[in-house]
Amino acid sequence: MNPYTGEVVGVAARATAAQALEVARAAGQFRCELAAYERADILSRCAELIERAAAEFARSICRESGLAYKDGTKEVSRAVAQLRFAAEEAKRITGEAISTDVTPTAGRRMAVAFREPVGTVLAITPFNRPLNQVVTKVAPAIAAGAGVIVKPSERTPLTATLFVRTLLGAGVPERMISLVTGDPITVGETLVTSGMVDMVTFTGSATVGRRIAQRAGMMRTAFELGDSGALIVLEDADLAAAAAEAAAGAFATSGQSCRGVKRILVQDTVADDFAALLRAAAERLRVGDPLDPATDIGTLIDERAAHAVDGRVREAVAGGARLLCGGRRAGAQYWPTVLDHVDRRCELVREETFGPCAPIVRVRDFEDALECVNDSRYGLQAGLFTQRLDYALHAARTLQVGTVVLNGGPQFESPNVPFGGVKDSGLGREGIRYAIQEMTRIKTLVL
């Protein structure tokens, strides 16, 4: 269903548990015979095909998810970049030679440690980036020579289907990739507990991640879960740049990003000036028809999600927060919202709020900000605006997160850097090269 118009925009099969098991059984029989250059060529061709069909992919993203066309086109560009980088990394999977003459008993022999595909990878993907979240998991799996089963979100299966068809058109062997659509329990949990997949890579909520972890057993797993993404703004910061990053991180993809800005910790001495800049940035954004190229913010995934965001905003205001702009809902749409004097204990900032909200929490100083960031069950990425290098180094050592971004927001991403979190934000790392390491295992030959 299109969240903006309510119209049916496509149909996907609701697989049964028996069908899911049949797919897993067939996928488990796949053994990759493709050379590294052949896998690289397939990924490169897929990138070219998607680039040619960029408008079709962007429209598909917008129609099924309600994201603005601007967000859709950015997502397509990111997917193309990931595929091209994965093509390069497919040719860089190496091992090492190890001499065993380190003890009298081993003798002078040579061990060769090399990487082989982990087996069948089950990729379970969320609704918020219907293309890029699939590519993030499938591209490194193909590069590694692993077979992959894609279980996309039941809310946004159409773009995933379009991508898999494109990948098949680029020459990937049919048995190397499977797509199963349906609900999380009947399909997702059946596949996780089937005993016929070798790795689960999941992006979604911490609650579902824990459920999968409990059921996966002795299997390789990688989890990219939620966050209460923090952006620290200190009194020596470039406030205009910080406000621009805060707006981009809080409002892009309608605020539905695990690495987005979820709370802005601003030193009290500059909080008034910063709040005025952020409010102005939010008020410039246009909310409207997702397919209109001029729209900045489309809808949330559905009306229930918008209700949930509105409830947390109202709770924060009742707790003393000042609503500077936004706080308005119409159907599945929610207007970009800026709040100041937000209580750091309220649910809006302690939990992952998936909506276009920019809550400002005032802090006394740098140490207070660090304490506030770490007082969370999440730890994915954090941003820090300051001119002091010693603060940046101290933050990198102190913050309990996977990545610290200096003079940038937690939304930073690049296909060649490791991405992942600590605590309830997940296990393992994405980023093409690092995902390939997760999707391969080391085997040793002693000569």
- Asked if 48 contacts 76 with a C-beta cutoff of 8 angstroms, the reply is no
In the residue annotation, 224 being an active-site residue is answered as yes
Q: Which secondary structure element, helix H or strand E, spans residue 276, and what is its range?
A: helix 271-283
**Alpha carbon of 13 to those of 16, 59, 168, 352, 380: distances in Å?**
9, 21, 19, 31, 34
430 secondary structure, DSSP code: B
Residue partners of 2: CB distance under 8 A and separation at least 6:
8, 9, 63, 64, 66
- Sign, CA dihedral 291-292-296-298, equals negative
Give the span between the Cα atoms of 5 and 288, in whole angstroms. Answer: 11
CA dist., res. 35 & res. 182, Å (int): 33
Q: How far is CA 210 from the centre of its chain?
A: 17
What value, to the nearest 5°, has the Cα angle with vertex 162 and ends 119 and 165?
55
Overall size of the chain counted in residues? 447
SS3 assignment, position 314: helix
Helix spans in 53-106 (H) = 54-65, 69-89
32 catalytic residue (yes or no) = no
- Set 189, 224, 413, 430: catalytic member: 224
In this structure, how many other beta carbons lie within 10 angstroms of the beta carbon of residue 193? Answer: 14
d(Cα 123, Cα 212) in Å, to the nearest integer?
Answer: 12
What is the rounded distance in angstroms from the CA atom of residue 398 to the CA atom of residue 237? Answer: 20
3-state secondary structure of 21: helix
Which pair of structure tokens corresponds to residue 147? 């077979």
Q: Which of 437, 261, 444 is nearest to 348 (CA)?
A: 261
Ranges of H-type helices in 385-441:
389-398, 432-438
Tracing tokens 């200190």 back to the chain, one arrives at 234
Catalytic residue among 46, 64, 75, 258: 258
Catalytic residue list = 224, 258
